[in-house]
Amino acid sequence: MSAAQTVHTAAHPEQALREAHLYKEMLKIRETELQLARAYRDGHVMGACHTYVGQEAVAVGVCAHLQVEDAVFSTHRGHGHALAKGVAATEVAAELFGRATGCSGGRGGSMHLFSPEVGMMGTTGIVGPNILQAVGAGYAFQLNGEDRVAVAFFGDGAVNNGAFHEGLNLASIWDLPVVFVCENNLYATEVPFAYSAGNPEVAMRAEGYGCPGRVVDGNDVMEVDTVAGEAVTRARRGDGPTLLECKTYRTRAHAEGMPEVGYRTQEEVDSWKARDPIALLRSHLMGTERVAADEISAWEDEAREEALAAIKFAKASPWPDPSTVFDFVDSSDSAEAARRS
């Protein structure tokens, strides 16, 4: 540790620890996603694989304020949300590999990650309905007098869906403890958001429902951390929902195996890569001299090793037992009856 680092860390201990935590969490997501993308190319991942590369600051900045009991409802691009909420990388990797040790027992795959033990209430391949699920959870929390918050992550492709309008309206009327997080990465699959919205500014829609709407630099994890903290605090004290529009960008294809450019230019991709959320925070950490370069490198090596270990774990894990094929399809009685027939 350098003398400069010692001075700055001593002067701002809580901030230094916070920034280190956010950086490590983003690294965990990035390295895990890169290994999963490689595993997909090698034929190990069952089904589609939508990576979160480039958007890590949003999940990390929001989930940093959540307790285990708080509930997250996610999308088809949900690996990052799951990891940030506390699902182990081993469980995420095993799930994508279709193995019994996955967070959904190998039955869900990339788009159906589920781990209620840490408040990860599911990802979904259907665009929009998780918004209403979060509203329902928030209503239950309010009715039961529970100190819990629900968070819905969704993309710009969901905001013209009826679920978005119905969900925000009801949550605002009843002051439900919900945070709506729109990850505006400019494209719904390969369709520019500006082509599908008369006004592509999402946050301003909140005014129509009587709740706050905030535009956030979704590639600046410190800004996301600050604004999300205010939204979660507001929800937790009973003041109702907030809509966050986090402007960010996925630097890989919509899904692995799909084209990265054509519907967008390489110049656009490169311009967003220049504002990579991990690189931005790394530059900040180096500039403030709160952390030495060799320590940051050690964090990066550790994240890479953990991601590789997760892939190794997934490859070594067993396939689901065929005798359990009817489990979780219907009620336990029905499943048992079907198994006996």
DSSP summary character for residue 263 = S
pLDDT digits (tens, 9 = 90+) for 207-254: 999 999 999 999 999 999 999 999 999 999 999 999 999 999 999 999
pLDDT digits (tens, 9 = 90+) for 107-125: 999 999 999 999 999 999 9
209-213: list long-range contacts, CB under 8 Å, 24+ apart.
209/168, 209/169, 209/171, 209/172, 210/172, 211/168, 211/171, 211/172, 211/240, 211/241, 211/242, 211/243, 212/242, 212/243, 213/242, 213/243, 213/244, 213/245
User: Is 90 exceeded by the pLDDT of residue 290?
Assistant: no
Structural domain span for residue 181: 3-340
Note the pTM of the prediction, 2 decimals: 0.93
User: Is 50 exceeded by the pLDDT of residue 149?
Assistant: yes
User: Is 90 exceeded by the pLDDT of residue 183?
Assistant: yes
Q: What is the mean pLDDT of residues 122-150?
A: 98
For position 182, what pLDDT does the model report? 99
For position 89, what pLDDT does the model report? 99
**What is the band of 289 on the pLDDT scale with cuts at 50, 70, 90?**
confident
User: Is 90 exceeded by the pLDDT of residue 7?
Assistant: no
The mean of the pLDDT values for the chain is 94
Between 11 and 320, the higher pLDDT residue: 320
Choose among 316, 337, 279: nearest CA to 27.
279
CATH of residue 242's domain is 3.40.50.970
Q: What is the mean pLDDT of residues 265-285?
A: 97
pLDDT digits (tens, 9 = 90+) for 310-322: 999 999 999 999 9
Between 46 and 5, the higher pLDDT residue: 46
User: Is 50 exceeded by the pLDDT of residue 146?
Assistant: yes
pLDDT digits (tens, 9 = 90+) for 73-117: 999 999 999 999 999 999 999 999 999 999 999 999 999 999 999
Tokens 């840490």 -> residue: 118
For position 207, what pLDDT does the model report? 97
For position 2, what pLDDT does the model report? 37
